[in-house]
Structure 1
């Protein structure tokens, strides 16, 4: 049962420090240390034909089936493996996360519990972490009840009550009682392993279920929204507050396309959409931690240019290279490490810093509300938005070989000035409010003059000031409050975007050729933007039907990647993609019937 071709039917586990992706056969096939952007010690997902290395798998003798589900409202995964003779085991996977000693316990660790649930199961443990992006297997040393794996500059220790010799030699053995595995820091395991790991499992369950209990979910599609919310939280590196775009690198956007990117970094744009969606559910803890991350980014910029992305630690230089020892997803390399997009100019980032930060001046639920000093720092970001609103950039789609004045970037600059005016009014600063209102009006005039293509009802906004092509980001003009949904200019723009970019149940981000040729897959967030526009433009039933169709494409874990083949429905691109999960949450909130339906 282990020779299957890799696919994106993967189940994330994590604790906001480390994460892992579990495949349909209970194999931990992707996981990095000491954090999401670190060395993937579990890298079988990208190893091509080199199977059985960079993986942690439990192989049941005679296995014929596997089923999986999360413990309700948690990222604790239970996989049931069944053999032809009726024997079966259940494997519980989780990364510990709960409050202990006055702080959050979230170690660099994966915990796994194997429970025999039927017959006399025989099991083989395959645990082969690697180092150096798949360059070699981790060297090992061992003791009576543990195995040490040297995974670079650090070591991880497997503490277990399973027979260590069987694990080292990959021998098949009978499992007659529950077995506990804790792969974590290289230090002696404190306390009774069985009792402590079970306690961790229970406390982790309680933490997540209480977190979910505080979400303000829509009436319909609650399970889907909850799963997306949990996974978005797993994409936050809690130490700093950064939110990564995805947990993986180099899953191609389309087969053999070379569009393979490392998404294990914090994009200002993606994070803006993530906190916006979670804020709608009331998950203020993610917003608060991210605002702290943004304040550090703003401070370090010192009023100058802000990059489109940073590392989870706030590092700016993310030099892009290739992991030569990893063949790539289904052998479709290259596997990239780092992302050269950090060098790009993307002016939309200024608006995407201002918009979430402004909430800090208004939301009285926050533990730390923003003050005059924060406003002064935020005005520096606004100054950059004002200075750059009509200057060319790479745009939100990160074109690598050309620059234009992109309409979306200009609208985001307008939004930055508009929201700063709101904050200034709230803080009792009429002079500053007037200044930012004046600048917002000037940017609006510029956009309406330069981005409008054609005449009257036949006209529409273009994707840039220099050309008349279209892209799906134009649909965001309503969400950003630049236009009302019944504004004739939006109605005509929406009609043109739908005509040019819609492919049945899917939406392209753009149809023209870019640095790598014409796009071959739909961009999932753009399909959700289409659904959003349909709902706002009195086509709500059509939007509901399209939304249900998108939910039908989700993995069994209830998630989506970045891209989708608009003919076959196969998922492509990095996984799980925060953009796509944001789309599920936002559209569910917009389309759902009211809770009053049950009253």
Structure 2
């Protein structure tokens, strides 16, 4: 734990109510329970000394480590390779079901497949972001950590080949640790369980653990089998789809933006937000993507969750918030964890999100566009009115459509008249500036402008010249459009995929395909993306990020369609 692992050196596991991150060195350094937006039990990702961790790493030997997923699943395998031997750590979470529960299990299985290896096993939970004390009770089959709000049981897996006295467990700093030596064919393991009953833990048998693994494997492969995608980038699309599913709260269908909080957009910077909530703006692209892949149940559950938020806002006569908790609660009050040093010293560490009550008019368009997508399968104020007109007309619903059409057309005319800067020969961030913004790349996608319109073509060229670095796209220039915070942002992964789509639809299909392939090289070794990518290629911001993976899927679908229609690259 001498240094923070890179964000891209992590794998994501989860049970559809919460999730955990496991670093390439075998350290579990992020886990919140009982929900995504609950306080952390293991928060070493935000403070390596005070946050808590569960380390399983080779001891006393030089080694390299690699991670992979069991194909078609989020079951994570971390491999340790050394001159003395090769070890494998398997981490997964059995699916928790559709009903909210405090009981969540995380299985850690360790075995040596060649030679002999020694491992340090060090379990140091820290409840409520390291703020709550806990008691530790020892039992023959394991230990139980009890805090005022939550308990964590660590039950051992009893393998018949385990030698007596080989795994003597010691207590240190409120946690437990041991040094275990395993020879080829030998194994060890533990099952972590939150919300466990107060009685003592029990020994798990290898058969019980194997059954949990097979149940988890079969669930994910059955789910993935519903995907309709058979295109050119199947492996990346399916991994992205599983990542999105891992970030979906099963009891309500809400999709969080990311499973982490407080990770910096720039190392040492202050843009450290909590993304463990559901953004209303994500409804449109999420529903569209899920439906295109064939995951209709997930799309319907998500759109119903959004509809419930709209109805609650209407009934209470309060504005629609831009984000909510996974259970629909509007309480996302922001606070700072002053006692955490932050990832690689990036403070302040924020939990909650003060942006919840910002005025963002595009959320109404996103809601209606999502409803429109769902209705068809059976981002701006302009989008809201345009989709409302379409829905009312198709369904014969009573509405003042004449007024809506007039207002929609006035907005369109205003955007064309005032949103296009003649000096820049491009659409701009807002009417009173000449600053470019990569969110303009969404204009053709929502039908506001044709991808072949000369005004859009010149806008795309301007974005490419000013905001694109190789395949990576900056959202905007903070120096030209200050947002009140010091420091710079990295490139936005979502905008980079939008750029690929814009290139393709504008007739530059070869450029689009190459740029997309370059973007795939920026993923983590496991195929995961954070919100942003630094110039060095390092993943920054919260990890992994839903919008990045939604955009990857949407771009792959669009590229496949155009390449199938124009195999020689001429659109």
**TM > 0.5 fold call:** yes
* Secondary structure at the counterpart of residue 170 of structure 1: strand
Q: How far apart, in 1, do the equivalents of 2:149 and 2:53 lie?
A: 20
1:21 touches 1:28 (CA, 8 Å); kept in 2?
A: yes
Output one character per residue of 1:160-187: Cα deviation in whole Å (capped at 9) or x when no partner. Answer: 2358852655221334643342211313
2:272 touches 2:348 (CA, 8 Å); kept in 1?
A: yes
1:392-411 pair list within 5 angstroms: 411=379
1:171 aligns to what? 178
Cα 1:98–1:517 change in 2 (3 A) is: closer
1:230-269 pair list within 5 angstroms: 230-269=242-281
Q: How far apart, in 1, do the equivalents of 2:33 and 2:75 lie?
A: 20
Q: CA deviation at 1:74?
A: 0.7
1:330-345 pair list within 5 angstroms: 330-345=344-359
Q: How far apart, in 1, do the equivalents of 2:16 and 2:436 lie?
A: 38
1:417 aligns to what? 385
Q: CA deviation at 1:434?
A: 4.4
1:129 touches 1:138 (CA, 8 Å); kept in 2?
A: no
1:80-91 pair list within 5 angstroms: 80-86=79-85, 88-91=86-89
1:104-119 pair list within 5 angstroms: 107-119=103-115
Q: CA deviation at 1:431?
A: 5.2
Cα 1:84–1:3 change in 2 (3 A) is: farther
1:381 aligns to what? none
Q: How far apart, in 2, do the equivalents of 1:324 and 1:515 lie?
A: 21
RMSD between aligned residues: 2.6
2:162 aligns to what? none
* Secondary structure at the counterpart of residue 178 of structure 2: coil
2:339 aligns to what? 325
Q: CA deviation at 1:474?
A: 1.1
Q: CA deviation at 1:556?
A: 0.8
Cα 1:82–1:166 change in 2 (3 A) is: farther
Q: CA deviation at 1:301?
A: 0.2
1:477 aligns with 2:452: no
1:214 aligns to what? 226
Q: How far apart, in 1, do the equivalents of 2:339 and 2:99 lie?
A: 39
Cα 1:500–1:81 change in 2 (3 A) is: closer
Gap runs ≥5 in structure 1: 365-410
Q: CA deviation at 1:580?
A: 1.4
1:350 aligns with 2:350: no
Q: CA deviation at 1:207?
A: 0.9
Gap runs ≥5 in structure 2: 159-164
* Secondary structure at the counterpart of residue 274 of structure 2: coil
2:551 aligns to what? 583
2:439 touches 2:495 (CA, 8 Å); kept in 1?
A: yes
Cα 1:505–1:431 change in 2 (3 A) is: closer
1:41 aligns to what? 41
1:78 aligns to what? 77
1:93 aligns to what? 91
TM-score of the aligned structures, taking structure 2 as reference length = 0.88
* Secondary structure at the counterpart of residue 261 of structure 1: strand
Output one character per residue of 1:368-423: Cα deviation in whole Å (capped at 9) or x when no partner. Answer: xxxxxxxxxxxxxxxxxxxxxxxxxxxxxxxxxxxxxxxxxxx5221112112222
Q: How far apart, in 2, do the equivalents of 1:271 and 1:20 lie?
A: 24
2:157 aligns to what? 161
Cα 1:533–1:149 change in 2 (3 A) is: same
Q: How many residues align?
A: 542
Output one character per residue of 1:422-449: Cα deviation in whole Å (capped at 9) or x when no partner. Answer: 2222222375554543432232223223
Paired residue for 2:126, among 127, 130, 145?
130
1:335-484 pair list within 5 angstroms: 335-364=349-378, 411-429=379-397, 432-454=400-422, 459-484=425-450
1:35 touches 1:108 (CA, 8 Å); kept in 2?
A: no
2:11 aligns to what? 11
Q: How far apart, in 2, do the equivalents of 1:109 and 1:192 lie?
A: 13
Q: How far apart, in 2, do the equivalents of 1:208 and 1:59 lie?
A: 28
Q: How far apart, in 1, do the equivalents of 2:202 and 2:145 lie?
A: 19
Output one character per residue of 1:564-587: Cα deviation in whole Å (capped at 9) or x when no partner. Answer: 223x22221111011211222122
Cα 1:41–1:103 change in 2 (3 A) is: closer
Q: How far apart, in 2, do the equivalents of 1:522 and 1:61 lie?
A: 38
Q: CA deviation at 1:453?
A: 2.3
2:161 aligns to what? none
Cα 1:525–1:596 change in 2 (3 A) is: closer
TM-score of the aligned structures, taking structure 1 as reference length = 0.84
Q: CA deviation at 1:296?
A: 1.8
1:18 touches 1:109 (CA, 8 Å); kept in 2?
A: no
Cα 1:528–1:596 change in 2 (3 A) is: closer
1:95 touches 1:106 (CA, 8 Å); kept in 2?
A: no
Cα 1:563–1:142 change in 2 (3 A) is: same
2:493 touches 2:548 (CA, 8 Å); kept in 1?
A: yes
Cα 1:464–1:108 change in 2 (3 A) is: same
Q: CA deviation at 1:590?
A: 2.0
1:538 aligns to what? 507
1:181 aligns with 2:190: yes
1:54 aligns with 2:52: yes
Q: CA deviation at 1:200?
A: 1.4
